[in-house]
């Protein structure tokens, strides 16, 4: 069976060089310009090996972007076979990547034989039963709002009409686009940031996802219109995303009409009702599995607190909160006091007394574990020392 490689590098020329080499060597190949595009690709097209550059922004040589991406990949798939590719960052950062879970590293400019050897070794070391990387938040939820989104996808997935997916940051626009592609039967999906577009893929049977369409360069507007005209004949489709209202896109009126034949608005998490608890339970289960923890559950008070929170950063914030809570909590049942939320924000009156009791008990337990070392307790609780002192004072500790 042909092995597939994903190369994550912001330099298109480097990606093209690797593509020519690896295809000639018999590998399948996908390219991504950065971490966001890489994760979108991994959701739709599982791969055998990931080649990961360590710097993406101009003038950055620290490797921190690549290391953060490496940690995210391994959090979702602990068995992922990642080979880091480094030039500016040098040997020290490559060694750090190995300590963080990379299988190997390659220095730029690479030796072709060495690159193939690293790919083969990394692929062989991956356990065959390892699960592919997948974003655990994709289209989870039974609320009326999400039911409408799912129904829309079921109804029009195979069409070629352009789709505009709008919504606040973190509502799942890219995931909805990926789900739309999965059900379309098309062969390829290409994710691009609109502001960086200089040309458009003309491959047949392709879903083209343009993120943040309002940032499309003015010079690319006629190019996109020309791409859209023959799209039905080659069975390709445009899916654009934006966090702005339709009237604020700032695009030419003709292009605005052309990209929004179907206009879909992703609901903010605060309007999805019980989906919040369902998503939290899902993230809880996935995080426990990924880190090898025993299963945990949410208490009714914790569920009530999550339901009451405004979630201005939507699903991304919920996932981060649950992951953090699972790692820091020793309890099999996550209480309201375990959740590092801003307790002054929209807490229901009936929850507040029990929440205060849980918070006090949590602080007392942390202090006892650290022999009343406030700095150590604050670190465990994810608080600053002044914040912990304020809460101790509030509870008479």
Q: What pLDDT is attached to residue 345?
A: 39
Residues 70 and 99 in one domain: yes
Residues 155 and 261 in one domain: yes
Residues 300 and 252 in one domain: no
Query: Domain holding 203: CATH number?
Result: 3.40.50.300
Residue 138 lies in a domain: no
Average pLDDT, the chain: 83
185-222 residue pLDDT tens: 898 888 899 998 888 878 889 999 999 999 999 999 99
Q: What pLDDT is attached to residue 359?
A: 64
Residue 29 lies in a domain: yes
Q: In what order do the strands lie in the sheet with 237-242?
A: 188-193, 206-211, 237-242, 163-166, 262-265
Nearest to 82, CA basis, from 72, 93, 70: 70
Residues 208 and 291 in one domain: no
Residue 134 lies in a domain: no
Nearest to 58, CA basis, from 38, 82, 75, 33: 33
Residue 56 lies in a domain: yes
Instruction: Confirm if 66 and 102 have CB atoms less than 8 A apart.
Output: no
Q: What pLDDT is attached to residue 294?
A: 86
Query: Domain holding 358: CATH number?
Result: 1.10.8.60
Residues 102 and 19 in one domain: yes
**CA–CA separation, 188 and 186 (whole Å):** 6
Which of the residues in the chain have pLDDT under 70?
44, 57-61, 88-91, 125-138, 342-359, 380-387, 390
Out of 219, 247, 267, pick the residue that ends a domain. Answer: 267
Residue 85: in which H helix or E strand, if any? strand 82-86
Residue 102 lies in a domain: yes
**CA–CA separation, 136 and 319 (whole Å):** 9
| Tally of domains in the chain | 3
Out of 125, 157, 190, pick the residue that ends a domain. Answer: 125
Q: What is the 3-state secondary structure (H, E, C) of 276-311?
A: HHHHHHHHHHHHHHHHCCCCCEECHHHHHHHHHCCC
Q: What pLDDT is attached to residue 28?
A: 92
Q: What pLDDT is attached to residue 138?
A: 60
Residue 133 lies in a domain: no
Residue 46 lies in a domain: yes
Q: Dihedral of CA 141/145/151/154: which sign?
A: negative
Residues 377 and 312 in one domain: yes
Query: Domain holding 23: CATH number?
Result: 3.40.50.2300
The H helix count followed by the E strand count for the chain is 15, 12
269-284 residue pLDDT tens: 999 988 899 899 888 9
Residue 101 lies in a domain: yes
Residues 293 and 334 in one domain: yes
| Domain that residue 97 falls in | 4-125
Structural tokens at position 62: 């620290």
Residues 389 and 275 in one domain: yes
Residue 208: in which H helix or E strand, if any? strand 206-211
Q: What pLDDT is attached to residue 328?
A: 85
Residues 244 and 331 in one domain: no
Residues 255 and 162 in one domain: yes
Residues 179 and 257 in one domain: yes
Residues 18 and 101 in one domain: yes
Out of 267, 296, 325, pick the residue that ends a domain. Answer: 267
Nearest to 212, CA basis, from 265, 166, 162: 166
């Amino acid at each position: 069976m042909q092995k597939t490689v994903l190369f994550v590098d912001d330099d298109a020329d480097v990606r093209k060089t690797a593509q020519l080499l690896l295809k000639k060597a018999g590998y399948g190949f996908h390219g991504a310009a950065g971490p966001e595009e890489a994760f979108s690709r991994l959701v739709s097209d599982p791969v055998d090996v990931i080649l990961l550059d360590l710097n993406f922004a101009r003038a950055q040589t620290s490797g921190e972007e690549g290391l953060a991406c490496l940690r995210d990949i391994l959090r979702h798939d602990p068995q992922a076979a990642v080979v880091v590719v480094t030039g500016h960052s040098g040997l020290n950062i490559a060694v750090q990547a190995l300590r963080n879970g990379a299988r190997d590293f390659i220095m730029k400019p690479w030796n072709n034989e060495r690159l193939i050897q690293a790919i083969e070794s990394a692929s062989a070391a991956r356990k065959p039963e390892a699960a592919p990387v997948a974003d655990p938040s994709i289209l989870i939820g039974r609320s009326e709002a999400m039911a409408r989104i799912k129904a829309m996808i079921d109804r029009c997935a195979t069409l070629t009409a352009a789709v505009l997916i709008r919504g606040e940051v973190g509502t799942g626009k890219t995931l909805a686009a990926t789900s739309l592609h999965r059900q379309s039967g098309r062969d390829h999906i290409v994710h691009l940031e609109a502001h960086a577009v200089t040309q458009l893929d003309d491959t047949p049977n392709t879903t083209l996802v343009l993120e943040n369409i309002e940032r499309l360069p003015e010079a690319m507007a006629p190019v996109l219109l020309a791409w859209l005209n023959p799209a039905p004949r080659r069975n390709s489709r445009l899916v654009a995303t934006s966090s702005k209202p339709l009237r604020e896109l700032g695009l030419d009126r003709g292009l605005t009409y052309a990209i929004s034949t179907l206009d879909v608005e992703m609901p903010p998490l605060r309007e999805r009702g019980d989906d919040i608890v369902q998503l939290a339970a899902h993230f809880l289960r996935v995080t426990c599995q990924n880190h090898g923890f025993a299963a945990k559950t949410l208490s009714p008070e914790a569920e009530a607190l999550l339901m009451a929170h405004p979630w201005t950063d939507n699903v991304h914030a919920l996932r981060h909160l649950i992951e953090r809570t699972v790692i820091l909590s020793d309890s099999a049942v996550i209480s309201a006091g375990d959740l590092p939320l801003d307790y002054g924000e929209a807490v229901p009156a009936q929850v507040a007394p029990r929440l205060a009791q849980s918070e006090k008990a949590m602080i007392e337990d942390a202090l006892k574990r650290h022999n009343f070392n406030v700095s150590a307790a604050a670190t465990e609780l994810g608080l600053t020392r002044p914040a912990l002192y304020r809460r101790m004072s509030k509870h008479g500790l």
